[in-house]
Structure formats: structure tokens, C-alpha cells
């Protein structure tokens, strides 16, 4: 019998999205998150191109948008040792869940369940059957010699969690996606306290190296976004369109309260309403056309042609507040601008990132005080510098012994149980 060791393998380092990784010890393996990179205009299946019906998974693997790993996908035998853990509902963390083997244990935070069920039942994101096990915050699951504890964090979707992964050899903390400028900063702070002194900290770093567009939209907290939306609901003279994302239930609830106070009826596209748990669904446009000042519509990019029917009056406003396109890197941005210009809509961005600001990332690392921090889910992992804490920038497709990462001499090897190809790693990922 060989000595059991703890290893860490990133299938995708999440540059900037699509993070997924294995922690293994002996015969046990835990997979954290299983989504697809969001890269419109760059990913092979983007800008309306979709995998072909009936061969979705094969197409995704061949295109490098799903990792080539054995023993976890439906249609082939489960390896009998891999358990899957989901940190939150966003598609870059969940979009491949539907393809998991039905036998693979699948765990997710219980507070995520309403959004998960809404996404599943509306067809927005079909989920695997069986759906898996919803776990309470702070609950611990044992997978062989690996223990995984859920520790809630604040993000822009309910039921987001980080994890503390304990093996006989090491304690590994993973932040999931988190922030400290949302409505519940105390959750992220409590996570940092709960994992204090972990050996490794796998830290999300989406905002590292982020260069804002010019002119830069204001840096808002979630509370400020909700106040801005309420103000727009009150002051907009024509139709108000808010392109928000239904998974951000708190923002939708805040917008709804602002609309109610301003005498506007809030109507959402059917899938977004299902994600948001909001009863007002956009149907017949006639009532909206007859009374634009009495309405606020959530419309996404694909609904832009509805403007042809709505003919919004002068003084109408389109607010980008969480729905794609997310910025100038998305070719959809200029198309959105063209539609708004054509129909005389004032286009505004009112948003608050779901991710920690750079200073808050450093604060979390300091509070946790790990022996080594691994910046992931970022374009610029090298931008994380915390005095007194060594950074290690993992590469996708390499299996590292955790003991080697801790000792400062990681060599790495090809991972066990892959088809010899790593998951897609974006240019510049390290």
C-alpha cells in the first residue's frame, strides 16, 4: 500500500472564470465547482453558437469548454471516489453539473436551493438527476479521509459558500466567490475567522488587475445600487428598463420595492422571474406601451427587439445593472449601445461587483493568515501580494502534492484520471 498523500489539481484556474479543481487524498477525491468559462466572443461556443443537440458534452469536451476527466460524467462509469461540491449557482461554477454521473455524490448549500430550483424548472439551467444533497451552513461532509465543511460567504447570489477542506495532511480553505461590500459583509468576515490558520488559502481574485473602462462607472456597494435603482424608478419620465440578473434576488427585491414606491409595475422575463422568485412576468406588451411611466421591465440582451414594439417614449432609460453584456470585452456591448441610440434610451450602468475589491482580498488573506495563498479566478494572479504570505500560482492540468506547495518546492505531475488533456486554460493563465 502506498502512502496516502494530499494532492491538488486545477482543471481550470479560472482565468478569469471557469475555476474547478480536485483535492485528493488516498482513494478519495473531491471536485470543487463545475461550470463553464464565460467568454463571449472568445470561447468556441459563444455569440449564439451552441453544442449540437444530443452530443452536447462531447462537443464541449472537444472544444475545451468541459474538462477531459474520467469517472465523473454521465454515460461512463462513475469512478466510485469523486464527490462534487458546488460553491454557488453562477453558471461559471455550475453549467456542467447537468452532465455529472448520476451516482456521483453532489453537494450544494441549502440556501442556494430556491435559485437552483427556479433555474432548473424554468429551463434556464437544467440540473442533474438526482439533484444531490443540500447542506446547511457549517455542516461537514466526510468523503473517505477528506472532510469538507461549508462556510457561508457574501456574494451576489443567495446561498454562496466557501469551504474548509481537511485531510490528514493539510487544511485547505477555498473562498468561493465573495465580497465585503454587499448586504452581508459579516458572512465573509466570519468565513475568514473560521478558516484562520489554514495551510492553503485558495482565494478568488476576480477584481485583481481589473482596468475600469473610461469613463469608469462609479464604484458602488450593493446598498448604493439598490438606492440608485429606486431613484431611477422615481425620476425616470418614460419607460424604465433594468437589465438585472434574476439570481441576485436581493437586488431584484430592492428594485421591486423602489418600483412599488414609485408606482411602477415590475415585470421580468419568465426565466429571470423564476430565478428571482418574482411573480410579475412580462407577457402582453400592450399595457406597457399604453403606460410606460407605470412600468419597469427587466429585459436582457436577447429581448432588445421588443423595443420595436414598445416604442419607448422620450425620457426612457435602460440601466445595465447585472445582466450581460458585462462590459466592452463583450461584443454585445456595442450592439446594446446601438439599440439604445436608435430608440432614444439613455443607457446607464449601475452595478456592484459580486467580487471582493482588491483591498478586501488582501484583508481576507491577512485575516486568514495561511502558509500559502493561491490566487485563482482572476486575470492577474501575480497582482496579489501580501507581505508575509507566500503566493503560489498554480497551472491547470498539473497535480501538485500539497506538502510540496507548503515546502516551497512544487514539481507537479500529470493528473491521475484524465485523458491527458487539461481543461481549457485561457491565454495568460498561470
Per CB under 5 A, residues contacting Zn ion are: 90, 177
* Residues 281 and 246: beta-carbon distance below 8 Å: no
Q: Hunting for cell 451516482 — which residue is that?
A: 103
Nearer to Zn ion, 6 or 356 (CB): 356
> Angle of helix 185-194 relative to helix 358-368, nearest 10 degrees?
30
Q: What is the 3-state secondary structure (H, E, C) of 60-82?
A: HHHCCCCCCECCCECCCCCCCCE
Angle at CA 173, nearest 5°, toward 170 and 179?
170
Alpha-carbon dihedral 209, 154, 180, 36, rounded to 10 degrees? 10
What residues pair up with 83 in beta bridges, in sequence order?
Answer: 30
Contact 414, 399 (CB under 8 A): yes
For 99-245, strand residue ranges (E) read 106-109, 133-135, 140-143, 146-152, 161-166, 171-174, 200-204, 240-243
Residue 317 CA from chain centroid, whole number: 28
Amino acid at each position: 500500500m502506498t502512502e496516502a498523500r494530499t494532492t491538488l489539481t486545477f482543471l481550470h484556474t479560472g482565468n478569469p472564470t471557469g475555476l474547478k479543481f480536485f483535492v485528493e487524498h488516498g482513494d478519495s477525491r473531491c471536485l470543487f465547482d463545475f461550470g463553464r468559462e464565460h467568454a463571449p466572443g472568445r470561447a468556441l461556443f459563444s455569440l449564439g453558437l451552441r453544442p449540437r443537440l444530443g452530443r452536447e458534452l462531447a462537443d464541449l469536451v472537444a472544444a475545451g469548454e468541459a474538462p477531459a476527466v474520467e469517472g465523473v460524467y454521465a454515460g461512463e462509469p462513475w469512478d466510485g471516489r469523486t464527490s462534487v461540491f458546488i460553491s454557488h449557482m453562477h453558471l461559471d461554477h455550475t453549467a456542467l453539473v447537468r452532465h455529472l454521473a448520476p451516482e456521483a455524490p453532489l453537494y450544494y448549500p441549502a440556501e442556494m436551493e430556491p435559485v437552483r430550483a427556479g433555474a432548473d424548472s424554468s429551463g434556464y439551467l437544467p440540473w442533474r438527476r438526482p439533484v444531490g444533497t443540500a447542506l446547511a451552513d457549517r455542516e461537514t461532509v466526510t468523503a473517505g479521509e477528506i472532510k469538507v465543511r461549508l462556510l457561508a460567504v457574501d456574494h451576489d447570489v443567495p446561498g454562496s459558500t466557501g469551504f474548509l477542506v481537511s485531510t490528514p495532511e493539510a487544511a485547505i480553505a477555498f473562498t468561493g466567490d465573495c465580497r465585503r461590500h454587499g448586504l452581508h459583509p459579516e458572512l465573509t468576515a466570519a468565513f475568514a475567522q473560521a478558516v484562520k490558520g489554514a495551510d492553503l488559502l485558495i482565494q478568488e481574485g476576480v477584481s485583481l488587475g481589473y482596468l475600469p473602462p473610461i469613463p469608469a462607472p462609479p464604484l458602488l456597494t450593493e446598498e448604493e445600487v439598490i438606492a440608485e435603482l429606486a431613484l431611477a424608478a422615481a425620476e425616470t419620465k418614460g419607460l424604465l428598463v433594468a437589465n438585472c440578473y434574476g439570481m441576485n434576488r436581493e437586488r431584484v427585491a430592492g428594485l421591486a420595492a423602489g418600483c412599488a414606491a414609485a408606482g411602477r409595475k415590475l415585470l421580468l422575463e419568465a426565466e429571470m422571474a423564476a430565478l428571482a422568485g418574482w411573480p410579475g412576468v412580462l407577457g402582453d406588451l400592450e399595457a406597457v406601451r399604453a403606460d410606460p411611466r407605470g412600468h419597469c421591465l427587466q429585459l436582457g440582451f436577447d429581448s432588445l427587439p421588443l423595443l420595436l414594439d414598445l416604442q419607448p417614449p422620450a425620457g426612457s432609460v435602460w440601466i445595465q445593472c447585472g445582466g450581460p453584456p458585462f462590459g466592452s470585452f463583450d461584443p454585445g456591448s456595442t450592439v446594446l449601445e446601438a439599440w439604445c441610440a436608435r430608440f432614444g434610451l439613455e443607457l446607464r450602468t449601475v452595478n456592484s461587483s459580486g467580487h471582493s475589491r482588491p483591498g478586501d482580498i488582501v484583508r481576507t488573506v491577512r485575516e486568514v493568515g495561511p502558509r500559502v495563498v493561491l490566487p485563482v479566478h482572476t486575470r492577474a494572479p501575480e497582482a496579489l501580494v501580501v507581505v508575509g504570505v507566500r503566493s503560489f500560482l498554480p497551472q491547470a492540468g498539473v497535480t501538485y502534492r500539497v506538502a510540496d506547495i507548503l515546502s516551497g518546492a512544487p514539481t507537479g505531475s500529470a493528473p491521475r484520471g484524465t485523458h491527458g488533456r487539461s481543461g481549457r486554460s485561457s491565454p495568460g493563465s498561470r
